[in-house]
Amino acid sequence: MAEYGKIIVRQRILTLFICCLLVRNYCKAGTVTTKSTLTARIGFHPTDFECTYTVDADENVHAGDISWQIENTTGSENFETLAEFSPPDAHGKHNQFASTATGSDFKSRSVLYDVVNSGVNTFTAVFRLNEIRCEDEGNYRCVVGFSTSSGSYTKSSNVSLMVTVPAEKPYRAPVPLPDVIEECTKVQFSCTANVGKPPGNIKWWRFKPNKAVPDHLGELSTTPTMVEDVCVYNLTSSILAYTMSRNDDQSVFRCSVSNDLVKADKDYDNPHEDTKTIRVLYKVGSPIIEVTPNKTEFTAGSFVILSCNANGYPSPLIDNHINYLLWTFTPHGKSDDVILISNNGLLSLENLQHKDSGRYTCTAHNGFNGKTFSSSNHVDLSIHPGKTENQSNVC
């Protein structure tokens, strides 16, 4: 029985040895690794495709047995060779691009680096793609052929390249519709831009006079689905019914575009286009009257300046037959108005007397699109007789 047991052990050892010989490619197999994904910005942004492989003690990699390949558009897993490499100690073949149309295309914008020893029995093959194009997006793989005393085998590792594109300035400046805007008019703005890849968004802003930070009016919420080899994603964003008020007069509306590659410190500084300064037609408001000196009672002989202004567009300061400021005077105890001559709302009153006491009224006028408007305000002045010489104090 003991002898039989020894025979069984010998048979098992022999079986294991034979199995290991038969599958030595798997028992002592080299490895090939790459990154699973690469991201590269379109244009002259060099990107390295790095392939690292290891070899066992009884394995060899010969000249031309290392290659970078690209997947054809004809079908999945159908790859063609871009370039071949040789290990550091190989003789004969050197690094070279494939003599195909694809190989020639990559040769014009790529560099092949010598394979280097990057560790114990570890080597790295790199090709650098200097100019990134949209059509470069897709799947690549590194293939290494290993030779052993019992045969040869290959291993590969795949990497997927995604091409990114910065968002671009809108194609044209937004224009309000309608272009003649009255207060309370509902206005539409539209903006079309390439939002880049990955697709970004479009935002709207309003800049008001004398306000440093703009108001954020909204943004496009739709994001298109990315498609391989497509790098232009044109989107249109619209403000469909923005109600204009007098507070929007002299504002500028901005359409800005951004994505992961284009992000300014302030969102509104991203690539953008602005409207021209928006003018909103609105009727005049109540005039503002200023009295200099700042009081309403004066002694005879006084000199007084009355100034009048009113908000409205067109401005009443234009001073024509539609848009103007008019001063009138109504003496105390009387109902008839007297038109006074002023200089664009500025009224100078010299040598005032008691008879000049009364109501001074400023009326602002403006008009647009066949309509006219007016608004008034007034100030009451009292002129008292001055002291005569015999009424003055005598020391």
* Residue 23 confidence (pLDDT): 43
pLDDT tens readout for residues 313-363: 999 999 889 999 999 999 998 989 999 999 999 999 999 999 999 999 999
Query: What Cα–Cα distance (Å) separates residue 395 from each residue in 387, 390, 392?
Result: 16, 12, 10
pLDDT tens readout for residues 77-112: 699 999 999 999 877 678 999 999 999 999 999 999
Concatenating the DSSP letter of every residue in 303-366 gives -EEEEEE---BS-GGG-SSSSEEEEEEEETT----EEE--BTTEEEE-S--GGG-EEEEEEEEE
Of 291, 329, 301, 313, residue with least CA distance to 364? 313
Q: State how beta strands 122-129 and 234-243 pair.
A: unpaired
Ordered per-residue pLDDT tens for the chain, 395 residues: 455 455 554 555 444 444 444 444 444 579 999 999 999 999 999 999 999 999 998 899 999 999 999 998 765 669 999 999 999 987 767 899 999 999 999 999 999 999 999 989 999 999 999 999 999 999 999 999 999 988 999 999 999 999 999 999 999 999 999 999 999 999 999 999 999 999 999 999 999 998 999 999 999 988 899 999 999 999 999 998 999 999 999 999 999 999 999 999 999 999 999 999 999 999 999 999 999 999 999 999 999 999 999 999 999 999 889 999 999 999 998 989 999 999 999 999 999 999 999 999 999 999 999 999 999 999 999 999 875 444 444 33
* Residue 11 confidence (pLDDT): 58
For the chain, the domains span 22-164, 181-281, 288-384
The answer to whether the CB of 258 falls within 8 A of the CB of 205 is no
Q: CATH says 181-281 is which class?
A: mainly beta
The answer as to CATH 2.60.40.10 being correct for domain 288-384 is yes
Residue 339 forms beta bridges with which residues?
A: 328
User: For the whole model, what pTM was predicted?
Assistant: 0.79
* Residue 74 confidence (pLDDT): 67
3-state class (DSSP) for residue 247: helix
Taking only Cα atoms into account, the Rg of the chain, rounded to an integer number of angstroms, comes to 43
The CATH code that applies to domain 22-164 is: 2.60.40.10
